[in-house]
Structure 1
Amino acid sequence: MAHVHGLLLAEFEAAASRAAAVRPEVDEQTARELMSEAAEMLHNSLALEALTEGDAAVVVRNLASDLTAPDPGAAVRARSAALDQERAGLDEPDVVAETYLLCAAVLQL
Protein backbone atom coordinates (compact mmCIF):
# COMPACT_ATOMS: atom_id res chain seq x y z
CA MET A 1 0.00 0.00 0.00
CA ALA A 2 2.71 2.42 -1.01
CA HIS A 3 0.12 4.78 -2.49
CA VAL A 4 -1.42 5.16 0.99
CA HIS A 5 1.85 6.60 2.27
CA GLY A 6 1.74 9.35 -0.34
CA LEU A 7 -1.95 9.93 0.35
CA LEU A 8 -1.24 10.17 4.09
CA LEU A 9 1.42 12.81 3.58
CA ALA A 10 -0.61 14.82 1.09
CA GLU A 11 -3.89 14.75 3.05
CA PHE A 12 -2.28 15.37 6.44
CA GLU A 13 -0.16 18.30 5.25
CA ALA A 14 -3.14 19.82 3.43
CA ALA A 15 -5.24 19.51 6.61
CA ALA A 16 -2.49 21.25 8.57
CA SER A 17 -2.48 24.12 6.09
CA ARG A 18 -6.28 24.40 6.24
CA ALA A 19 -6.21 24.44 10.04
CA ALA A 20 -3.59 27.19 10.05
CA ALA A 21 -5.63 29.23 7.59
CA VAL A 22 -8.72 29.28 9.82
CA ARG A 23 -7.09 29.22 13.26
CA PRO A 24 -4.66 32.10 13.79
CA GLU A 25 -3.07 30.40 16.82
CA VAL A 26 -1.82 27.55 14.60
CA ASP A 27 1.61 27.95 13.02
CA GLU A 28 1.40 26.37 9.58
CA GLN A 29 4.97 25.10 9.42
CA THR A 30 4.75 23.48 12.84
CA ALA A 31 1.36 21.98 12.04
CA ARG A 32 2.68 20.55 8.76
CA GLU A 33 5.68 19.04 10.55
CA LEU A 34 3.48 17.46 13.22
CA MET A 35 1.06 16.07 10.66
CA SER A 36 3.94 14.73 8.59
CA GLU A 37 5.25 12.93 11.69
CA ALA A 38 1.77 11.52 12.38
CA ALA A 39 1.58 10.26 8.79
CA GLU A 40 4.96 8.56 9.18
CA MET A 41 3.93 6.96 12.47
CA LEU A 42 0.76 5.55 10.92
CA HIS A 43 2.61 4.35 7.84
CA ASN A 44 5.35 2.68 9.89
CA SER A 45 2.83 1.07 12.25
CA LEU A 46 1.01 -0.63 9.36
CA ALA A 47 -2.25 0.46 11.02
CA LEU A 48 -3.93 0.91 7.64
CA GLU A 49 -2.82 -2.39 6.10
CA ALA A 50 -6.06 -4.27 6.82
CA LEU A 51 -8.14 -1.78 4.81
CA THR A 52 -9.23 -2.05 1.22
CA GLU A 53 -7.91 0.68 -1.05
CA GLY A 54 -11.22 2.55 -1.02
CA ASP A 55 -11.64 2.31 2.75
CA ALA A 56 -8.04 3.43 3.28
CA ALA A 57 -8.67 6.58 1.25
CA VAL A 58 -11.76 7.39 3.34
CA VAL A 59 -9.92 6.75 6.62
CA VAL A 60 -6.95 8.90 5.61
CA ARG A 61 -9.17 11.85 4.64
CA ASN A 62 -11.19 11.57 7.83
CA LEU A 63 -8.12 11.20 10.04
CA ALA A 64 -6.58 14.28 8.44
CA SER A 65 -9.66 16.24 9.42
CA ASP A 66 -9.95 14.74 12.91
CA LEU A 67 -6.30 15.27 13.78
CA THR A 68 -6.66 19.01 13.25
CA ALA A 69 -9.75 19.23 15.48
CA PRO A 70 -9.42 20.91 18.89
CA ASP A 71 -9.66 17.44 20.54
CA PRO A 72 -8.27 14.92 18.02
CA GLY A 73 -8.73 11.90 20.27
CA ALA A 74 -12.40 12.62 20.84
CA ALA A 75 -12.91 13.30 17.12
CA VAL A 76 -11.36 9.97 16.07
CA ARG A 77 -13.26 7.98 18.72
CA ALA A 78 -16.53 9.68 17.75
CA ARG A 79 -15.94 8.86 14.09
CA SER A 80 -15.33 5.20 14.97
CA ALA A 81 -18.51 5.07 17.09
CA ALA A 82 -20.56 6.76 14.35
CA LEU A 83 -19.93 3.82 12.05
CA ASP A 84 -22.55 1.88 14.02
CA GLN A 85 -25.16 4.07 12.34
CA GLU A 86 -23.48 5.24 9.11
CA ARG A 87 -21.81 2.48 7.11
CA ALA A 88 -22.61 3.62 3.57
CA GLY A 89 -19.84 3.64 1.02
CA LEU A 90 -17.43 1.46 2.99
CA ASP A 91 -16.31 -2.01 1.97
CA GLU A 92 -15.68 -3.21 5.54
CA PRO A 93 -17.20 -0.81 8.11
CA ASP A 94 -16.21 -2.93 11.11
CA VAL A 95 -12.57 -2.99 10.01
CA VAL A 96 -12.70 0.77 9.43
CA ALA A 97 -14.11 1.37 12.94
CA GLU A 98 -11.34 -0.73 14.46
CA THR A 99 -8.73 1.01 12.34
CA TYR A 100 -9.76 4.44 13.65
CA LEU A 101 -9.22 3.21 17.20
CA LEU A 102 -5.92 1.57 16.27
CA CYS A 103 -4.74 4.83 14.71
CA ALA A 104 -5.76 6.72 17.87
CA ALA A 105 -3.69 4.26 19.91
CA VAL A 106 -0.68 4.52 17.59
CA LEU A 107 -0.80 8.31 17.87
CA GLN A 108 -1.43 8.09 21.63
CA LEU A 109 -4.60 10.17 21.45
Structure 2
Amino acid sequence: MPSTAPPGILEPFLAAADSAASSRSDVDAETARALMAEAAGMLHDGLVLDHLDDHDLPQVVAALAADLTAVDPGAAVRARAAGVADDDPALHDPDGVRGTYLVTVQVLGL
Protein backbone atom coordinates (compact mmCIF):
# COMPACT_ATOMS: atom_id res chain seq x y z
CA MET A 1 0.00 0.00 0.00
CA PRO A 2 1.44 3.41 -0.93
CA SER A 3 2.21 5.89 1.82
CA THR A 4 -0.43 8.43 2.71
CA ALA A 5 2.18 10.81 4.11
CA PRO A 6 2.36 14.23 2.44
CA PRO A 7 5.49 15.12 0.46
CA GLY A 8 6.90 17.24 3.29
CA ILE A 9 7.13 14.11 5.41
CA LEU A 10 7.61 11.40 2.78
CA GLU A 11 10.33 13.02 0.68
CA PRO A 12 12.87 13.52 3.51
CA PHE A 13 12.29 9.93 4.64
CA LEU A 14 12.89 8.60 1.11
CA ALA A 15 15.98 10.77 0.71
CA ALA A 16 17.36 9.36 3.96
CA ALA A 17 16.68 5.84 2.70
CA ASP A 18 18.54 6.59 -0.52
CA SER A 19 21.45 8.08 1.40
CA ALA A 20 21.68 5.06 3.70
CA ALA A 21 21.59 2.68 0.75
CA SER A 22 24.32 4.55 -1.09
CA SER A 23 26.62 4.78 1.93
CA ARG A 24 26.09 1.33 3.48
CA SER A 25 26.57 -1.89 1.57
CA ASP A 26 24.27 -3.76 3.97
CA VAL A 27 21.24 -1.62 3.00
CA ASP A 28 19.07 -2.56 0.02
CA ALA A 29 17.73 0.64 -1.59
CA GLU A 30 14.30 -0.72 -2.50
CA THR A 31 13.73 -2.21 0.95
CA ALA A 32 14.97 0.94 2.68
CA ARG A 33 12.61 3.12 0.63
CA ALA A 34 9.67 0.82 1.34
CA LEU A 35 10.38 0.79 5.08
CA MET A 36 10.84 4.54 5.28
CA ALA A 37 7.64 5.15 3.28
CA GLU A 38 5.84 2.84 5.71
CA ALA A 39 7.31 4.70 8.70
CA ALA A 40 6.31 8.07 7.24
CA GLY A 41 2.81 6.79 6.62
CA MET A 42 2.47 5.37 10.13
CA LEU A 43 3.61 8.63 11.71
CA HIS A 44 1.28 10.65 9.51
CA ASP A 45 -1.72 8.35 9.83
CA GLY A 46 -1.12 8.01 13.58
CA LEU A 47 -1.25 11.81 13.92
CA VAL A 48 2.12 11.71 15.66
CA LEU A 49 3.31 14.88 13.93
CA ASP A 50 0.03 16.83 13.82
CA HIS A 51 0.62 19.01 16.89
CA LEU A 52 3.91 20.40 15.56
CA ASP A 53 3.85 23.87 14.04
CA ASP A 54 5.28 24.81 10.64
CA HIS A 55 8.57 25.76 12.28
CA ASP A 56 9.20 22.60 14.32
CA LEU A 57 7.74 20.04 11.89
CA PRO A 58 10.49 20.15 9.22
CA GLN A 59 13.19 19.97 11.90
CA VAL A 60 11.57 16.92 13.51
CA VAL A 61 11.00 15.21 10.15
CA ALA A 62 14.64 15.73 9.14
CA ALA A 63 15.88 14.44 12.49
CA LEU A 64 13.62 11.39 12.37
CA ALA A 65 14.61 10.63 8.79
CA ALA A 66 18.26 10.61 9.83
CA ASP A 67 17.70 8.65 13.03
CA LEU A 68 15.48 6.01 11.46
CA THR A 69 18.26 5.07 9.05
CA ALA A 70 20.81 4.67 11.84
CA VAL A 71 22.15 1.22 12.66
CA ASP A 72 20.08 1.33 15.88
CA PRO A 73 17.14 3.64 15.13
CA GLY A 74 15.49 3.17 18.52
CA ALA A 75 18.61 4.28 20.36
CA ALA A 76 19.09 7.17 17.95
CA VAL A 77 15.55 8.51 18.41
CA ARG A 78 15.69 8.05 22.20
CA ALA A 79 19.01 9.91 22.33
CA ARG A 80 17.52 12.68 20.20
CA ALA A 81 14.59 12.98 22.62
CA ALA A 82 16.94 13.09 25.61
CA GLY A 83 18.95 15.83 23.92
CA VAL A 84 16.05 18.27 23.50
CA ALA A 85 16.62 21.08 25.97
CA ASP A 86 13.63 22.75 27.62
CA ASP A 87 14.96 26.14 26.55
CA ASP A 88 16.13 25.21 23.03
CA PRO A 89 15.81 28.48 21.10
CA ALA A 90 15.66 26.61 17.77
CA LEU A 91 12.31 25.06 18.72
CA HIS A 92 8.93 26.64 19.37
CA ASP A 93 7.71 23.70 21.47
CA PRO A 94 10.60 21.69 22.94
CA ASP A 95 8.28 19.57 25.10
CA GLY A 96 6.13 18.73 22.09
CA VAL A 97 9.18 17.85 20.02
CA ARG A 98 10.58 15.62 22.77
CA GLY A 99 7.20 13.93 23.09
CA THR A 100 7.03 13.39 19.34
CA TYR A 101 10.33 11.54 19.40
CA LEU A 102 9.19 9.33 22.27
CA VAL A 103 5.82 8.59 20.67
CA THR A 104 7.63 7.73 17.44
CA VAL A 105 9.59 5.05 19.30
CA GLN A 106 6.31 3.56 20.52
CA VAL A 107 4.37 3.83 17.25
CA LEU A 108 7.16 2.27 15.21
CA GLY A 109 7.92 -0.36 17.85
CA LEU A 110 11.53 0.67 18.29
Question: How would you bin the TM-score normalised by the shorter chain?
Answer: over 0.9
The match for 2:92 is 91
The residue type equivalent to 2:50 in the other structure is: E
Select the structure that is richer in helix: 1
Change (3 A) 1:22 1:105: same
The match for 1:5 is 6
1:43 aligns with 2:44: yes
The match for 1:75 is 76
Detail structure 1 runs of 4+ shifted over 6 Å in the superposition: none
Gaps of 5+ in 1: none
The residue type equivalent to 2:6 in the other structure is: H
The residue type equivalent to 1:65 in the other structure is: A
Gaps of 5+ in 2: none
Q: Deviations over 1:49-102 (max 9, x none)?
A: 111111111100000000000000000000000013771310011110011101
Query: 1:6: Cα distance to partner?
Result: 1.3
What TM-score do you get using the length of structure 2 for normalisation? 0.91
Percent identity at matched positions? 50
Change (3 A) 1:30 1:90: same
Q: Is the 8 A contact 2:86 2:94 kept in 1?
A: no
Query: 1:5: Cα distance to partner?
Result: 2.3
> 1:100 & 1:88 partners in 2: Cα distance?
18
What TM-score do you get using the length of structure 1 for normalisation? 0.92
